[in-house]
Amino acid sequence: MISKKDLELVELATKIIKERWHKGSINHTVGSALRAKDGKVYLGVNLDMDGMHSVCGEQVAFGNALTEGVTEFDTVVAVGYTGGEVTILAPCGSCRQFMSKYAPDIKVIIKEDGVLKKVKFDELLPHAYKLHLKRS
């Protein structure tokens, strides 16, 4: 179920990408808002590297939170924007794998059949790859 706080995340992700989007550029087309379990929100925009490995908006938002020492997350959303309409995006494969390591219990806001929906992460990546190394 989508809450008022979830809608605020969508609004924040939309606001940041509209502020950072530049006509004629593909450098910033995705904005993300990440809510930590303590309620603080972290924002991110994608960093496109012209054909090289790019960094997704969700990963930038996580990076901002992790830089501050935050490791417990509640909900994330990503929105796409290219100067027209805003689109709620499901996380790409790279982001899904990233979240399986850093936030396996997170909830993700997606749009399905035109309706906003919040799903548990494991619904998006039920059989995530997990590295099994012993650390000393």
| Residue 24, token pair as written in the block | 């004629």
Q: Hey, how many other C-beta atoms are within 10 angstroms of the C-beta on 17? A: 26
Render pLDDT for 32-50 as a digit per residue (tens, 0 to 9): 999 999 999 999 999 887 6
Q: Tell if the pTM clears 0.85, that is, is over it.
A: yes
Residue 58 bears catalytic tag = yes
Maximum pairwise Cα distance, the chain: 51
Render pLDDT for 66-83 as a digit per residue (tens, 0 to 9): 999 999 999 999 999 988
Catalytic residue among 11, 19, 58, 123: 58
Which domains can be identified in the chain, with CATH numbers?
Answer: 4-124 (3.40.140.10)
Give the pLDDT band of residue 135 (cuts 50, 70, 90).
low
